[in-house]
Every structure is written in structure tokens, then in C-alpha cells.
Amino acid sequence: MPRPVAMLARFSLYGFLKNLRFFDAFLLLALRERGIDFLGIGGLIAVREVASHLSQIPSGALADAFGRRRCMVVSMACYVISYLALGLSAQSWLLVFAMVFYGTADAFRDGTHKTLIYTWLRQQGRENERTKIYGYTRSWSKMGSALSSLIAAVLVFITGNFSTVFLLSAIPAFLNLINLATYPASLDAGIAPGGGLKQAYRHLVDGFKEVISRSSVRRLVMDSIAFEGGYPVVKDYLQIVVQASVIALPLGLSLSGEQRTAVFSGLSYAVLHFLASKASKSAHRFESSSGGVEPAIDRIFLLSIASMMILGLALVTGVGWLAISIFIFLGILQNLWRPIHIGRFDRDGNESRAATTLSIESQASSLVAAIWAPLIGFFIDRLSQGEKTAPLDALWPVTLVAIPLILAWVWRRFRGNPIANADIPRG
């Protein structure tokens, strides 16, 4: 078994390489460059989320049955195919193909790597460090995102188009495939060999039973739907807000519109991900200062609801700098939320079905995101009336995702917070 410091470095390297997605700061802009309207973009995002939805639970069950490291390698291979297809595609059906592979890659990855980390923590006798260790490794993911935003901004500035960043993203994905393939076999300890598809099916059924029958886990999934069902859709609209704001600013007038957008979007995303990295690393301190896990979750819910309300006001009144600031703050909240929330699943769930349970959680969020994406795109298309650059006041529908947040917070107040291990002993 590698030394603890070495494995922490490997876990952190995974996140760093995974988030070297040089197109992240320009995904919507790149699709707009190809003449796709917001409803079409929402449709592509929905395809990605539906593909993730359809693959999510089987991927977790397969990970628990065949080995989590193997499923992670499959995930990275799907990313490579997706990025190459996004960079080379000139037709809509190829973009759909790319999004299917993207969603499948997300499904095989999401939740699986976290269970590898938690398995390692149990082997080290460090289960009480869940939030701290996961927050630390996630902080490196965000540092990768910050660096990729700056590199992508330079690439777009030089080339004058957004498509080249897709092809470059395939390189770190391939390097990550090698990193994951060489993880120690001991991280798959506890997974019975030779079960095959029958064992995967049993994990799938048992995972569903656990979520349905154990109220503490069921409540955690509902929290995920409320908090993260809309965030994957909303976060990318920062690009459109930056584009609309840059046009109105008397700065860099000697540069083309694409170059100005590249500079400001790249810088905005770099700041967002740098602060998100700090937030993720500090999640355990936020948890402690809040008085524990559940009080910390309550605070994040309230801050998110208030932020969405301010964002809506900023967009309607056309205050671009405030809207950009709120998008960045929402990213910080999301990266405080995730390490704390995922630790709740490891606290209340069954270790042997950890990947399956987290896959069910991610699948539920993906399904909600698939509904939000085209709905928000439709409203923005109507309000922007076909303008090439959507005005700020046409972007307010992104704040509709605050509705489930408000309902979830009211539900938590009415029913009380989940109590760890309240239903049955952890198996």
C-alpha cells in the first residue's frame, strides 16, 4: 500500500487532471458560435443529463460489483471520445453523440471516486476526516479548473474561436486514465470477485431498497435534488452574463468581441474556481463553525436562496458586475456544500453499496437538470427575441431553480433535520 501522502497526492492529481476541461468557461459560447439557440443548447445539456441518468445507477452497481477503479478508467475513456467529438463535430448529430459520451463518463465517475477515497480513509482509520480529506482533494479539482480557465482564455484570444479548447481537453483526460489504472488494487477490497452482472443487479436492487427504506438516506437524496438539480444548468450561464456585460463596458475596445469575452470570461472563471478551491478546502472549518453538519447545511441553503434572489434583481436591472459576483458566490457555496453533503452519505449509508447509493443521488439530480435545461433555454430565447447576444434582463429565468431550494428549506424546517443513523444500524 502506498504511503498516505502518496495516495492523497494521487487522489488530488485525479481531480486536478479531471478539471482541466479547457472548454468549461466557454461551452455555451462555443455552441452559440455554431448558431445554436438557447433552447437547442438546453436540449444538448438535457441529452448529457439523460445519458448520465440512464447510466448512473447501473454504473454504481457495476462499480460495486466489478471494481471501482475499472469503472473510473471507462469514465476517462468516454471523456476522451466526447472531447474529440466536440472539437471535430460540425453537425448536430455529432454534438448529440458527444454529449451522450459526456453524460456516460459523468455517470461512471460520479460517486465512484469518492467511494475510493472513503475506502482508503477506513483502511487508514481516519473516517472522522471525511469532510477535511474530500474537501482537500476537491480543492485541487478547483485549482485545475482555475488554471484551465486561464489557459483557455489565452487559446481563444489567440485563435479567435472557441472550438480548439475541446481537442486540448482530451490530453489531461488520457493522462488521468493512466493515473487511475495504476491505483492500488487494495482500494477494491471488500468487493466480492466473480459476481458479474448478477452481483451488479443485486447491488442495484439493494441500493434502491436502501434509499427507499432508510429515511435518513432518502432525505439526503431530496436535498441533492433541491440543491444540485439546477446548479449544473445555471453555472454555465455565467458565460452569457459576462458576454452581455463586456459589450456594455468601454474597455478593450481595440479587441474583437470574442477576444474581450475570452479575457473577461477566463478571468471570471479563474477567480470562481480559485475561490471554490479555497471553499472546498475550508468546508470542514465551515462545518465546525456552524455547529455541526446539519446546521452547516441549513446555512448554505439560506445563503443560496438569498443569493438567487439578489441574482434575479441584478439581471432584471442590468447590473452585470453584481450578477457576475453572485455567480461566483454560488460557486463558493456549492463547494462548501459538496464535501459536507457527501460525507453525510458515508455517515448514514452502507459501505458495501456506497457507489450505488451515490449513483442514485447523482441520477436523481441529473434527471432534474435535464428538465431545467431546455425549460430555462426556452424562456431565455423568448425574452431575448433572437438577439445574437442575450441581454442581461432576458437571463432572469436562471433564478427559477431557487424554487426547489425554498421548498426544501421549508420542508427541513417543518419536518426537522435528518438524524444520522436514525433508521437502522450502518452495515
| pTM of the shown model | 0.76
Report the 10 Å Cβ neighbour count for 138: 26
Average pLDDT, the chain: 82
> What is the C-alpha to C-alpha distance for residues 201 and 66, in angstroms, rounded to an integer?
11
Tens of pLDDT, residue by residue over 229-238, are 888 889 889 9
pLDDT above 50 (res 424): no
Instruction: Please state, for a pLDDT cut of 70, what percent of the chain lies above it.
Output: 80
Q: Count of CB atoms within 10 A of residue 317's CB?
A: 13
The better pLDDT of the pair 50, 323 is held by 323
Residue-by-residue DSSP string for 155-198: HHHHHSSSTHHHHHHHHHHHHHHHHHHTS-GGGGTTS-TT-HHH
Whether the Cβ atoms of residue 115 and residue 356 lie closer than 8 Å to each other:
no
Tell the CATH topology of 4-415: Growth Hormone; Chain: A; (1.20.1250)
Residue 127 pLDDT greater than 80, yes or no: no
More confident residue, 193 or 44: 44
- Range in 3-17, 24-38, 84-98, 106-120 the model is least confident about: 106-120
Contact 136, 278 (CB under 8 A): no
| pLDDT of the residue at 348 | 66
- Mean pLDDT (whole number) for 254-264: 71
Rounded Cα distance between 422 and 153, Å, is: 49
Q: Is residue 99 within 8 Å of residue 81, measured between CB atoms?
A: no
* Average pLDDT over every residue of 133-142: 85
Between 117-121, 142-146, 214-218, 376-380, the lowest mean confidence (pLDDT) is in 214-218
For position 425, what pLDDT does the model report?
A: 39
| pLDDT value for 97 | 92
How confident is the model over 59-87, as pLDDT tens digits? 666 766 667 788 888 899 999 999 999 98
Find the Cα–Cα–Cα–Cα dihedral 208, 214, 215, 221, rounded to 10°: -40
CA distance 195 to 202: 10
Higher pLDDT, 120 or 302: 302
HSE value, Cβ hemisphere, 13 Å, CA-based, for 42: 21
Please give the pLDDT value at position 305. 95
